[in-house]
Copies of this chain bind each other. A is one copy, B any other.
Amino acid sequence: MSAVSNTGTIFKAIPEGLPNPDVHFEVIHRTIDIKNLKLDENDFILRNLYLSLDPYVRLTMREPQIDSYMPSNLIGHIMSGIGVSEVVKSNNPNHKVGDLVYGFIGWEEYTHIKTDAKSTNDYHFKNINYHKKLLKEIPLSYQVSLLQFSGLTSYGALMLLGKPKAGETIYISCAAGATGNLVGQIAKIKGLKVVGSTGTDEKVNFLLNDLKFDAAFNYKKVDLDKTLSELCPNGIDIYFENVGGETLDVVLKHCNRFARIPVCGMISQYNITNPKEKYGIKNLELTFHKSICFHGFLATDFIGSQVEKDFEKDMLEWVKSGKIICKENNILGIENAGKGFTDMLVGNNVGKSIVKIADY
């Protein structure tokens, strides 16, 4: 008997509004008999080490017939996400036993990567090229918290779409979150005045004391319009958009001519299931009054481009030299992924939320 535990989290029910970890997810205790499991050609098995918890996953928790940029997760199936894993069995010449890889995994201890995957959910484990260039010189968790998609999202969008110039002012919403904190740190390196907002005083302190932002505030405690007038007296040149909704309407008023708005996400709207309850943006006319560029992106847009090469070089150098701090909200055990995910959605995290599934 060589079966080992393969505890995982399945998608149990489609949430309206904020997911409840006890209602919309279910932890299941399965086993996997790795030794006796027969692999089809090109299949391989991953022992999962770290799972990344990202806001976009909320958008995959929907009815499958609703189209979006990411396939939906399917009820009754294992949740999918991005993670770091070790190949423990393989029938694939590109992925040898012992390789460390980065890519889509299940919210589970072991994931069987199938090349003939047919269900929507299996898509997550099929079409991605698993990265193998995992550096040994920095902690393995940094692959999900700082490098790869997480860092590329911040660096690529700021540099390519934000076009930062020293002396300019950037305002970052969700500034203590995974993307926001990195964007702020990079903007500091580039000589900008960095102003961030977040949802607790603890996180405000983190932004001011640890990350050395020029200004930070708890958006739940202030009038945004007044606060931006005070903290950004020269207007906003770059708004790094993570929240959408009313915040965006207010920020548009504070934008300077030729302001750039990289649109990373709009987390304030993700848990609004009824389209009628979504916030309608009324100040978009200001985009042409002030020649504002409002530019959506996905991290995958930057793959293979020069900005990805620059990112890999710069980020590694900054991390090694201590110019960039890696702030992780480390959740232990795959059985806590659901709660960690919903905590991240409401902002109960400082830095990047990751699940440590197993030791390496």
Residues of A participating in the B interface, judged by any CB pair closer than 8 Å: 68-69, 244, 248, 258, 263-266, 269, 275, 278-282, 284-298, 301
By the criterion CB–CB under 8 Å, are B284 and A282 in contact? no
**A265 to B265, alpha carbons, bound, how many Å?**
25
Chain B contacts for A284, CB-based, 8 A: 244, 248, 263, 266, 281, 294
**Known contacts A275-B282, A282-B275, A285-B269; is-contact A296 B301 (Cβ 8 Å):** no
- Beyond the given pairs A263-B288, A266-B284, A288-B298, 9 more chain A to chain B contacts, judged by CB atoms under 8 angstroms and listed by A's residue number, are A68-B289, A275-B282, A279-B280, A279-B282, A281-B281, A287-B296, A291-B296, A291-B301, A295-B295
Write the nearest CB–CB distance from A159 to chain B, whole angstroms.
16
Q: How far is the CA of A279 from the CA of B284 in the complex (A)?
A: 10
A279 to B279, CA, bound (A): 11
> Measured between C-beta atoms, what is the minimum distance from A66 to chain B in Å?
11
Q: Chain B's nearest CB lies how many Å from the CB of A134?
A: 27
Residues of chain B contacted by A244 (CB below 8 angstroms): 284-285
**Minimum CB–CB distance for A251 against chain B, Å:** 13
> Once bound together, how far apart are the Cα atoms of A269 and B288, in whole Å?
13
User: Within 8 Å CB of A266, what residues of B?
Assistant: 284-285, 288
> Is there contact, CB below 8 Å, between B288 and A278?
no
Docked-complex contact B275 and A287, CB < 8 angstroms = no
Inside 8 A of A285's CB, which chain B residues have their CB?
Answer: 244, 266, 269
Contact among B265, B275, B278, B293 with A296 in the assembled complex (CB-CB below 8 Å): B293
Residue of B nearest to A276 (CB): B282
State in angstroms the CA–CA spacing of A296 and B256 once bound together.
12
Question: Which partner residue on chain B sits nearest A277 by CB separation?
Answer: B282
Which 9 residue pairs are nearest across A and B when measured between Cβ atoms? A280-B280, A287-B296, A288-B296, A69-B289, A294-B294, A278-B282, A281-B281, A263-B288, A293-B295
